[in-house]
Each structure stands twice: as C-alpha cells, then as structure tokens.
Structure 1
Amino acid sequence: MYIIAGLGNPGDNYKYTRHNMGFLAIDNLAEKLNIKVNKIKFKSLIGEGNYNGEKVILVKPQTYMNNSGEAIRDVVNFYKIDLSNLIIIVDDIDIEFATLKVKRNGSAGTHNGLKSIIYQLVDDNFPRIKIGIGKKREGQDLANFVLSGFTKSEGKEIEKTIDKAAECAIEIMDRDVESAMNKFNCK
C-alpha cells in the first residue's frame, strides 16, 4: 500500500499558487491512475484506488499548509503503513524553478508543511518529491511569494514539472526511491 500526499492550501484562491504544487501533482496523478480524490476523511480530500495490484491512497490535506502533519498523521495511523510507503509531494523554494528533487528522508528545511509532518509523525524517514518554485525577489515577503501565481511562461513550464512529479511517484511505486532519484533529480 502507498499513501501519496500532496501539500497545499484549500480553496480556489490558492489553487494555482506556488505553494499548491502538491495539490496540483495529486490532481495529475489521480488522472493518470483513474482515482477520484473526492472523499472527506482524516481532515483531507482522499481517493482510493489500485495500481499494479497495490492499494493507493491519494491525499490532499485540508488543514492548510502549516498544519498538514495533523492530517498526514491521521491517515498514516489509520492505515498503519511503513513510512517508506508514504510519499509527500511539496513545493520548494531552495531548488531551481521547474525542477524536481527526490529525497529518501531528511529534514524539512524551510518548509512549514514538512515541519508539521515531521513533528506529528516524530520521524523524517519518508520519501518526498520536491517541486522547484523559484526564489523570491530580494525584499519580497516569503508568504506573499509562495502564495503568488505564475507568469504565463512559468505556468507552461511548471505544468510539465507537475506531470513529471506524478510520473516520479509512479516510478517510486514501480521500482523504488533510488530509481526515482536517478531518473528525476536535477543534475
């Protein structure tokens, strides 16, 4: 069984912001796997399906970014999965725009959603797929930056990256994290 969660903020006003890359990647993955993410459970929108004989749970926490860990903890505790089968998809300001970075585990860095998950699980041993959203301009407030949208040209580029993030999650399920790191990490 895999639980794949994309982090973001609920509501139409946040839908296409830099901070919602996780939600957008889950939407893309749901389409690829033919899973409807429309049940409200565990403080989240979830969808359940199967992929190559494995149960897959897709999760979009509805707790807002900074409290994502509450929803993830509830899902993990209910399904009692090994954290190596929990995949988190998240935006990242510290990697190049429109690139991916796959990590097996590790710290949250500057990301409050990941901090919340690590705090609630009391563990950082879960894979994550990070989507580069670019760096804020000098003097720009970080919250304003991550809650901003993309330019038209950025939007086209980030759509391709969101698709790659979904393919990366599939690669982890098909093979393993190491294979996904070799295939998708920016060089």
Structure 2
Amino acid sequence: MKYLIAGLGNIGPEYELTRHNIGFLVLDQLADQHKTNFTTDRLAEKAEFKYKGRSIHLIKPTTYMNLSGKAVAYWLQELKIPKENLLVIVDDLALPFGSLRMRTKGSSAGHNGLKNIEQLLSGQDYSRLRFGIGNDFGKGQQVDFVLSNFSQEEFKQLPEVIGKANEMILSFCTIGAERTMNHFNN
C-alpha cells in the first residue's frame, strides 16, 4: 500500500518558520524520525520511508502555496496512488493554536493551497489534517499573520503538537481515516 502525504508551505528561508509553513515543519520532523532525507524532484521536495508494510511518500511542494495542487496531482499520478490514500497537512486559522482535526473532505475554507488542490483533483473528496494556528490578528491582517513566525510560547509547544500530528499521519496510513478521526479528533 502506498500513501502520499503532502505538507503545504512556501519555499525559501523567509517562510521557513511561519505559521503558513506548518505542513513543511510537520513533514520535516516525520522524515527525521524515520531517518530519511528530502531531495528535490519534480515540483516538490520528496522523501519516502516504509512503515508497517506501507510505502509512505512525503512531498513539500516547491510551487508555492497557491499552486500546491500541481505537485499533489503530479505525484498522485506518477506514483499511482489512489486519492483515498492522500493526506494534505495544512494550517488552519479557524482552529485554536495546536488543535488538530482530520477530515476526509470539505471546503477549502478560503485556503488558497486547498483551493488549488480542489481545482486540480476535481473535488473536495481528499483527506486533510488541519493544524490550528489560531486567529490572533486584527482586521485586514490575515496575510501578515499567516506569514509571521510563531510566538515564543507557541514555539515551545510546537514539538509536542507536531509529534501528535505525526502520530495521526501514521495512524491514517495504517488504520485509515475514519478510525484515526475517531481516535484523535476531539
């Protein structure tokens, strides 16, 4: 069984530790944990490892957030992975910082990375792990907020929450989305 795990973010050092890059940060820790490295490949940084008999392919699109769908669609097709074995890791303003929610479908909720994936996969029926980044910003400050670094307090909590996100990813790949949601979504 093969799985594609796509962590959304933006390439470049100026975005590295921003809230919008949580998908990249989650996959970086997962790759470290499984002693694999990312290499640059078509439209993405890519890594893979085996876990409980599954081939888990990680991608961090190099297309910038708003064109994430190009990389996701390409690698699904290239690796011949069915859409139900796709999980997208994405930042979510609607959830408090550190909250994690897995969904098997749903709207983009205004997230440009998800909008592009939706467009290129012709629908909203793919799993996503929404990572809460909070919404502590004033009117008109949304872009500045998502492209800003985590606060010191959030930064201290990140390893634990990222660890839980990675548990959810491995659970998705072994027991499936429904059972993972029942176990982890609270």
Structure 1 residues 76-115: aligned runs within 5 Å? 76-115=76-115
Matches of 2:96 and 2:57 in 1, distance apart? 29
Structure 1 residues 1-187: aligned runs within 5 Å? 1-38=2-39, 40-185=40-185, 187=186
Matches of 1:112 and 1:54 in 2, distance apart? 30
Amino acid at match of 1:94: A
Name stretches of at least 5 consecutive residues in structure 1 with no aligned partner. none
Matches of 1:79 and 1:150 in 2, distance apart? 34
Amino acid at match of 2:90: V
SS of the residue 1:165 aligns to:
helix
Matches of 2:133 and 2:47 in 1, distance apart? 26
Q: Give aligned-pair identity as a percent.
A: 38
Amino acid at match of 2:42: F
Offset, 1:32? 2.2
Deviations 1:7-55 (A, max 9, x none): 00001111110000000000111122222112x2221000122111211
Deviations 1:41-90 (A, max 9, x none): 22100012211121111100011101101111111111121111011111
Name stretches of at least 5 consecutive residues in structure 2 with no aligned partner. none
Matches of 2:72 and 2:16 in 1, distance apart? 20
Stretches of 4+ aligned residues off by more than 2 angstroms: 32-35
Matches of 1:147 and 1:111 in 2, distance apart? 13
TM-score (norm 2): 0.95
- Coordinate RMSD, CA, aligned: 1.2
Matches of 2:156 and 2:177 in 1, distance apart? 27
Offset, 1:124? 1.9
Aligned length: 185
SS of the residue 1:13 aligns to:
coil
